């Protein structure tokens, strides 16, 4: 299982560590050639506007969009959720998303860095609660009819799936719990 991890900016190293622990082979993706070698993709947290600009300057945006249109399984966490959403509120006017999952998100919807928090919540299909780390996290404001909400904090969706796309507003790679990544690998290699 070769799982690409977008390594332009953000928390990509921890995703690689979790994937390795689960028996997958993570590949840091920085160029279109790197992308050709992967069977699934992780778009990590980081700064979504910076990541958006780096997707353009690296030449990765168009080939990644093409691979996703062809069914490439993708896990997007925090900024990755923003980059995969259909609509982004409070983004820069030039920020572009892939529109790979039918959700609308608000950047930094929970607040600034000082408003970051941790919470435990149930996740559909997992035994026991998951400990989520929310850092300047996006808030899901709308969920399309074909999107499955897998977890909520209070009433707000924090983990969603549509087809082969799985997104979280939290950082599962920082929890010490590999179950979200494991679920993604199951999804990626059963599609």
Residue-wise pLDDT for 55-84, tens only, equals: 999 999 999 999 999 999 999 999 999 999
Mean pLDDT of the chain: 93
Per the annotation, the verdict on 171 as an active-site residue is yes
Q: What are the chain's domains?
A: 2-188 (3.40.50.880)
Please indicate whether residue 78 is annotated as part of the active site.
yes
Backbone angles phi, psi at 161, to 5 degrees: -140, 140
pLDDT of residue 114: 64
Considering the candidates 15, 162, 171, 181, report the single residue annotated as catalytic: 171
pTM over 0.85: yes
**Is there a contact between 166 and 187 (Cβ–Cβ < 8 Å)?**
yes
Task: Give alpha helix (H) positions in 12-60.
Answer: 12-21, 32-36, 48-57
Phi, psi (rounded to 5 degrees) for 146: -100, 5
User: Can you give 102-132 as a three-state secondary structure string?
Assistant: EEEEECCCCCCHHHCEEEEECECCCCCCEEE
Number of C-beta neighbours around residue 66 at 10 A: 12
* Beta bridge partners of residue 152, listed in sequence order: 157
What are the distances in angstroms from CA 155 to CA 75, 145, 150, 167? 22, 17, 12, 17
Structure tokens at 142: 């709308």
> Which of 16, 160, 173, 181 is an active site residue?
173
Catalytic position from the list 15, 16, 78, 160: 78
The reply to whether 181 belongs to the active site is no
Q: What confidence tens digit (pLDDT) does each residue in 107-154 have? A: 877 766 666 889 999 999 999 999 999 998 999 999 999 999 999 999
Chain mean position to CA 36: 19
pLDDT band at 182 (very low <50, low <70, confident <90, very high): very high
pLDDT in tens, 35-58: 999 999 999 998 888 999 999 999
């Amino acid at each position: 299982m070769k799982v690409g991890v977008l390594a332009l900016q953000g928390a990509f190293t921890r995703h690689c560590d979790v994937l390795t622990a689960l028996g997958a082979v993570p590949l840091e993706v920085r160029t279109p050639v790197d992308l050709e070698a992967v069977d699934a993709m992780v778009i990590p947290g980081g700064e979504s506007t910076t990541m958006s600009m780096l997707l353009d300057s690296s030449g990765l945006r168009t080939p990644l969009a093409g691979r996703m249109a062809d069914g490439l399984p993708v896990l997007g966490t925090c900024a990755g959720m923003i980059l995969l959403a259909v609509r982004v509120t409070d983004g820069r006017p030039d920020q572009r998303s892939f529109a790979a999952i039918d959700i609308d998100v608000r950047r930094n919807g929970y607040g600034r860095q000082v408003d970051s928090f941790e919470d435990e919540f149930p996740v559909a299909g997992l035994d026991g609660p998951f400990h989520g780390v929310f850092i300047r996290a996006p808030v899901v404001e709308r969920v399309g009819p074909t999107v499955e909400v897998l977890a909520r904090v209070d009433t707000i969706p924090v983990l969603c799936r549509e087809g082969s796309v799985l997104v979280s507003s939290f950082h599962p790679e920082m929890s010490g719990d590999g179950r979200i990544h494991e679920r993604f690998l199951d999804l990626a290699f059963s599609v």
